[in-house]
Amino acid sequence: MNAINSMQFLYPISGFVVGLLVGLTGVGGGSLMTPLLILLFGIHPATAVGTDLLYAAATKSAGGIVHGLNRTVDWRVVRRLAIGSVPMTIVTIATLSYFDIKGDGVRQLIGAVLAFALLLTAFTLVFRNRIVARFAPGLSALSPNRIALLTVVVGGVLGILVSISSVGAGAIGVTALVLLYPKLPTARIVGSDIVHAIPLTLVGGIGHWFLGSIDWQVFTALIFGSVPGILIGSYAAARFNETALRVVLAVTLLAVATKLSFGLLPLSSDVVAAQTSQHR
């Protein structure tokens, strides 16, 4: 009983910390929360992804309002990303509906895509400056129409990744926007990325709801902590300079890398027993 109560207490704390990071950087939602739900709380990967998507939609809506009020959103970029991401999210969810969402096959698929997305997230956070230095000159020579098309393609890729793993809309999206729109300030890129993630995660979350992969008790506990976290983070983001935001990104990377390092460790019997009892 104590173990169960302790875990329930950890949900809002986890929500607050992740919400704070999302508000500050646009990074850290799925890349931290989904592994936490799977590895720390012992939740099935499909349920972790579905619950995290709805959680992300709610928290990023709160953060998006703040960024909108601070005028740190480029709506042109948001529209282009959504044109690619929303249709691909629907297609991906429709494809998953043909399989047993709680079966071993989907578990393995989500695990593989999640691992890939986390590694890609860590890579983009570590080598973002080198990536930009290597590819930005070539991309800057492209016509506006090409940039618009590439933005839609990026949105489509994010739609697939996020629908399966709930990871990608943060660090990967931010890095792509830095490459495609190097003249946008960091706070504006973060704000645009957060606002785009609202329709992306909402459509994905609703899709997982229809698939039966949402834990409403966990969702409620996460929201209780995350809304104040993302409001505080989003309010502070517009007042951070670019160097400070990069430091926060580095801290986020450290958290992701640490979780990856221990991601292959089995759950303790106490955690498994507590989670099993909680969801009976």
Of 98-107, 211-220, 236-245, 247-256, highest mean pLDDT: 211-220
Distance CA 52, CA 23 (A): 16
Q: What is the pLDDT of residue 270?
A: 44
pLDDT computed for residue 207 by the predictor: 95
CA dist list (Å): 38 to 43, 206, 266? 5, 20, 11
What percent of the chain has pLDDT above 70? 79
**C-alpha span between 253 and 62 (Å, rounded):** 23
pLDDT at site 226: 79
Question: Is the CB of residue 4 less than 8 Å from the CB of residue 44?
Answer: no
pLDDT band at 265 (very low <50, low <70, confident <90, very high): very low
* Segment among 13-17, 84-88, 125-129, 223-227 with least mean pLDDT: 125-129
State residue 164's pLDDT score. 93
Average pLDDT, the chain: 80
CB-neighbour burial class of residue 12 (10 A; exposed 0-12, middle 13-18, buried 19+): buried
Q: Confidence band (pLDDT; 50, 70, 90) for 139?
A: confident
Q: Name which of 11, 15, 43 is nearest 232 in CA terms.
A: 15
Lowest mean pLDDT among 44-53, 146-155, 166-175: 166-175
Q: Domain locations in the chain?
A: 2-278
pLDDT on residue 91: 96
DSSP state for residue 266 in the 8-state scheme: P
Query: Whole-angstrom distance between the N-terminal and C-terminal Cα of the chain?
Result: 14
Q: What is the pLDDT of residue 225?
A: 84
Joined tokens for residue 110: 């989500």
Q: Using one digit for the tens of pLDDT, what is the confidence trace for 58-74?
A: 877 877 888 888 888 99
In 55-182, beta strands by DSSP E: none
- Greatest mean pLDDT among 101-105, 216-220, 228-232 lies in 216-220
Q: According to the model, what pLDDT value does residue 256 have?
A: 53
The pLDDT assigned to 272 comes to 42
Phi, psi torsion values for 214, nearest 5 degrees: -130, 135
State both tokens at 18. 């992740």
Give the whole-angstrom CA distance, residue 237 versus residue 252. Answer: 15
The answer to which of 41-55, 62-76, 135-149, 227-241 has the lowest mean pLDDT is: 227-241
